[in-house]
């Protein structure tokens, strides 16, 4: 059975202290689907684009065995556009532009063959749309949700409804503080899990990620890269690696969730090494697995007895 992914499909304009790129392929659904495509198929992608969306981007997604029956194209309309600027500290990003375009009127229709998917990843998109997707699913057993400050601030009531229906929420540290209205991350995690999700993952950029559940906090490092080129899509690639591995193994036990967090961090590390989606375009599963092993070495330590 397929892995259902919904999110934005975007043309991004990104500036870092080192370089700049205009109208590059981006969007949460794109990064998540590309990252997940290295695990097991089929990946079902639900999203919307306008007529300005390049045929080459479609080909790239198809070449990664991403099923595009759920990708709607709207004639005479423009694709969602986003623009961001990174500071010298690449953990700090300013959003310069969010132009919803086709996303503003998007009404996702889930193709028949997608509806039985057990694993669902609700990528960063309007929570109203995330709810519409869930309403059309038959009986998903594991739903993972991503979101961002834009929606926490703008659509909190709708987001709270989504959180009641998901097993995992993935957000970054500043978003967790914003959502919980609590500066301490451990307390914030408790408050957010009380909103619905059994598991919470808090991403901390180059400082790794934390997985919270009832009685454990698991901490995974980020890969120590010397060259971080473009952090855009790191969070989505993390989500794609996380859900891709769970879907491949069909195991949602806590030990496997921890491994999935490390696979998520692995995909994020490939993503940031190049601009736009380039870092996710030409990998092999062997490369992914080798870096996963490097991750394990990063924090392995023996007891002194």
Q: Which residues bind ligand AMP (CB under 6 A)?
A: 8, 10, 12, 26-28, 82, 98, 124-125, 150, 232-236
CB of 132 to ligand AMP, least distance (A): 15
CA angle 23-60-51, nearest 5°? 50
- For residue 201, list its beta bridge partners: 170, 211
Q: Which two tokens stand for residue 68?
A: 């595009």
Residue placing its CB nearer to ligand AMP in the complex, 31 or 118: 31
Which is nearer to ligand AMP, 67 or 236 (by Cβ)? 236
Which of 12/206 has CB closer to ligand AMP? 12
Alpha helices in the chain (DSSP H): 28-36, 55-63, 127-136, 149-154, 156-163, 173-180, 185-193, 234-249, 254-271, 285-298
| Beta strands 3-6 and 119-122, pairing class | parallel
Cβ 234 to ligand AMP, closest distance in Å?
A: 5
The residue sitting closest to ligand AMP, measured at its beta carbon, is: 26
- Residue closer to ligand AMP, measured from CB, 47 or 197: 47
- 8 A C-beta contact, residue 219 and residue 294: no
Distance between CA 26 and CA 97 in Å, rounded? 14
**Closest C-alpha among 36, 233, 69 to residue 144:** 36
Smaller CB distance to ligand AMP: residue 28 or 117?
28
Give which of 44, 87, 46 is closest to 64, Cα–Cα.
44
Q: Residue 98 or 249: which CB sits closer to ligand AMP?
A: 98
User: CB 56 → ligand AMP: shortest distance, Å?
Assistant: 17
Min. distance of Cβ 214 from ligand AMP in angstroms? 27
Nearest Cα residue to 121 out of 149, 108, 140, 138: 140
* DSSP label at residue 78: P
Measured from the CB atom, the residue of 8 and 266 that comes closer to ligand AMP is 8
Smallest gap from residue 16 Cβ to ligand AMP (A): 12
Q: CB of residue 302 vs ligand AMP: minimum separation in angstroms?
A: 35
Question: Least separation, in Å, of the C-beta of 95 and ligand AMP?
Answer: 7
3-state helix, strand, coil in the chain (%, to 5): 40, 25, 35
Task: For the CB of residue 173, give the shortest distance to ligand AMP in the complex, in Å.
Answer: 13
Q: Which residue's CB is nearer to ligand AMP, number 102 or number 125?
A: 125
Tell me how far apart the alpha carbons of residues 289 and 287 are, in angstroms, rounded to a whole number: 5
Q: Choose among 234, 141, 209: nearest CA to 201.
A: 209
């Amino acid at each position: 059975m397929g892995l259902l992914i919904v999110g934005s499909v975007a043309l991004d304009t990104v500036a870092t202290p080192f370089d700049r790129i205009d109208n590059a392929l981006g969007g949460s659904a794109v990064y998540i689907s590309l990252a997940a495509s290295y695990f097991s198929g089929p990946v079902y992608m639900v999203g919307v684009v306008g007529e300005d969306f390049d045929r080459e981007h479609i080909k790239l997604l198809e070449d990664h065995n991403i099923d595009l029956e759920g990708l709607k194209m709207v004639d005479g309309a423009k694709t969602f556009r986003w623009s961001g600027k990174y500071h010298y500290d690449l953990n700090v990003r300013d959003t310069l532009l969010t132009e919803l375009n086709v996303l503003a009127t998007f009404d996702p229709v889930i193709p028949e063959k997608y509806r039985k998917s057990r694993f669902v990843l609700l990528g960063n998109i309007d929570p109203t749309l995330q709810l519409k997707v869930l309403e059309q699913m038959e009986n998903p057993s594991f739903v993972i949700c991503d979101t961002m400050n834009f929606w926490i601030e703008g659509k909190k009531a709708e987001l709270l409804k989504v959180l009641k229906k998901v097993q995992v929420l993935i957000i970054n540290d500043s978003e967790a503080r914003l959502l919980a209205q609590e500066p301490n991350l451990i307390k914030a995690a408790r408050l957010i899990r009380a909103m619905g999700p059994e598991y919470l993952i808090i991403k901390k950029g180059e400082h790794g990620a934390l997985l919270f559940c009832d009685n454990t906090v698991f901490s995974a490092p980020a890969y120590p890269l010397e060259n971080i080129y473009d952090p855009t899509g790191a969070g989505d690639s993390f989500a794609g690696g996380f859900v891709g591995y769970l879907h491949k193994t069909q195991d949602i036990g806590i030990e496997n969730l921890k491994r999935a967090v490390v696979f998520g961090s692995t995909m994020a590390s490939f993503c940031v090494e190049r601009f736009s989606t380039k870092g996710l375009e030409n990998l092999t599963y062997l490369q992914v697995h080798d870096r996963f092993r490097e991750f394990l070495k990063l924090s392995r330590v023996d007891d002194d007895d």
